[in-house]
Structure 1
């Protein structure tokens, strides 16, 4: 087990609690803004990435952590952040969450009104997709902090999800502003928006629903100021033979920069010291030029695969990004000779540092599940500092600091301990010719 002295060292000065932390998109953003965070994550592989990156982590189920281990969260935490799993709400999922939106709204009101939580939990388990209930967890953590002796209400709340969840964020905002029921006497300034990642310098098109709430005293919450132009998703349709020749969007106007392309992001990452991003295979005559064919169909036709050229932003980076096919030329396309993005390259398209230490299994899924750190920096900067990150802070976010093996080992002991409180079966060893070390 971890010694108390080591625990204090890892948890000293922690301000942000990141629920459903994944590999650390928001935590990476917090690091580059000078804030320390701790994440709760149930997936062992994502935890391994976090340990390797030096990010304090508890390997646990968010619900059980709230119910039985709440006192382990440092009392210095005054910011609650979270991106609950979105599969049941996602357009790419089976839509159970979208169909259950009104039901989930009722659950939120039941929680605030003080109904028996055991009955609420039983009713939540009856939903067609149990993951839908996880979107309620941030609100339950807020109530827990308010009702626990020796704790203070979180000063700031930051939530992020797919656009389909925006109606729930609207309900959250109304209840946070009202300060009624179990929130009696605790009122927040609260706003919510739909944000497009390419308008914040992320080299991909991805839309997110974001809520920011803050205790009064810091002024009204202003909308985030975009830094880049939007990418036109409704430009004329193309086929694979056109992909090499289509022009890029028009030049930037006013103070907004043009969106960042895949080629720009990958080329910049490849030039950094000791970068694992090697794009030489994607160059022709010294120039990076390729196009990608999406793993997903569009327009309701699974065979109608979308296409983007290297001079454009990537499609939304999902856990299936490794299935997207990359071609340097029409000849390669016609011959079926495709390439794939590597994990470091996929991470760069999510704006993770080029040398971020991806670890464990299912790394493509880890990348796709994460919040783009650059977007996270804009959200955290506005919520905690009242302004966007500086150019210097954004420039420094390209490279991750090295982490010693001793630190990784210490964080693993902090997060997993004797594994007795980790999610069931998460450390099972698959027996084969060689045994796993974990």
Structure 2
């Protein structure tokens, strides 16, 4: 089977759903074949690599732009701000940050080090009253964690969500009354508790006076980010505003790892040197045998069994294990720890994890954005962040919405 990949493995590597691959098979874009021994429907590695080249290596010009000038100084209050990925992106788009709340002390130090003028509210969101920002923030944003609710009845109200961080997000929105609020989360929120969690969030925003735009999952590779990260975006528009919010248009150029780490369209110089984690010797010996764009299935069979242990017999893709990224593909989603067994992201040429500055580049942070704390703390801050360029594109979509509202209000 070493020259073939299963449907789920192919879907994971290419970053498309199984349904898309089945459609592509019918349309002749990427054909499945019968594996000679098992007779399962599988994909030839060569066919996938040829298609990956077409998907990620096109040298065409990107003729999509979401850029828009703000008609006024629009302001944003950010909750769960982390190390500032979304905040820098919003700033780049032309929005002004009036305050940021974050509980992690190292992330707060990072924010203050880079933006001494930002109002960083350090501490548990529960201990802050945000009513002073009413009429001072056009937008409230926040990447709240995904937590289940206890249902008191068929319809979920704000009080039913007490004790969750989404409750705090909704409480702040209710206190501040922004024109628009934006929550961001992992794709898994769609199916969390069989979809009830998301349904509950929409119900709560409705109760506090916000109409939720149909939820979308934005793929970072469509927004000038060289990484296959996905973020679910939850947008609520205050009910007295009759203006439609539109998600940012997808770009038609996809950037790869070379664009992230070398001088080119995304950055005007090669990635600067920095500290980085190292693999233990046993792992280095294993990953030395994995080619660029390869993973554990590229190891000799006896090593596959030894490295994967019981997982070897469980089936499924597990394509993040013993994974070496190729120069001509976007990185897989970065995690908070670069050397974990489930989520290895090995450098294409050297057998090591990405360094801190390489991590930051893949998340499109500017090179002059300094991260404070131990190397492990820095990886965690970067791995948790919203990619800066995705934040910028979302910022433009919000400015476009607020411009229309501003014009309608003044006419």
The secondary structure found in structure 1 opposite 2:392 is: helix
**Residue of structure 2 equivalent to 1:326:** 346
Cα gap change, 1:16 to 1:275, in 2 (>3 Å): same
Query: Deviation string for 1:164-193 (max 9, x for gaps)?
Result: 22344444345545xx4xx3xx34363321
**Residue of structure 2 equivalent to 1:371:** 386
Trace 1:222-371 onto structure 2 (pairs within 5 A): 222-227=246-251, 256-257=252-253, 259-268=254-263, 272=268, 276-277=272-273, 299=316, 304-321=321-338, 324=344, 326-328=346-348, 338-361=351-374, 362-371=377-386
Matched, 1:142 2:205: no
Aligned counterpart for 1:211 among listed residues 217, 229, 234: 234
Residues 39 and 58 of structure 1 are in contact (CA less than 8 Å); yes or no, is this contact kept in structure 2? yes
**Residue of structure 1 equivalent to 2:187:** 163
Distance 1:316 1:302 in 2: 12
Matched, 1:172 2:201: yes
**Residue of structure 2 equivalent to 1:43:** 104
Residues 191 and 213 of structure 1 are in contact (CA less than 8 Å); yes or no, is this contact kept in structure 2? no
**Residue of structure 2 equivalent to 1:59:** 122
Offset at residue 24 of structure 1 (A): 0.5
Residues 161-170 or 45-54, more deviating: 161-170
Distance 1:59 1:157 in 2: 21
Distance 1:169 1:16 in 2: 24
Runs (5+) with no aligned partner, structure 1: 1-12, 90-96, 125-132, 146-152, 228-255, 279-288, 333-337, 389-438
**Residue of structure 2 equivalent to 1:253:** none
Runs (5+) with no aligned partner, structure 2: 1-72, 275-290, 297-306, 404-411
Residues 261 and 312 of structure 1 are in contact (CA less than 8 Å); yes or no, is this contact kept in structure 2? yes
Offset at residue 155 of structure 1 (A): 0.8
Residues 292 and 348 of structure 2 are in contact (CA less than 8 Å); yes or no, is this contact kept in structure 1? yes
Alignment TM-score, normalising by the size of structure 1: 0.57
The secondary structure found in structure 2 opposite 1:321 is: coil
Residues 358-367 or 168-177, more deviating: 168-177
Cα gap change, 1:327 to 1:175, in 2 (>3 Å): closer
Alignment TM-score, normalising by the size of structure 2: 0.60
Distance 1:106 1:268 in 2: 55
Offset at residue 271 of structure 1 (A): 6.5
The secondary structure found in structure 1 opposite 2:380 is: helix
Aligned counterpart for 2:397 among listed residues 378, 382, 391: 382
Offset at residue 207 of structure 1 (A): 1.4
Distance 1:262 1:18 in 2: 30
Cα gap change, 1:300 to 1:311, in 2 (>3 Å): closer
**Residue of structure 2 equivalent to 1:188:** 211
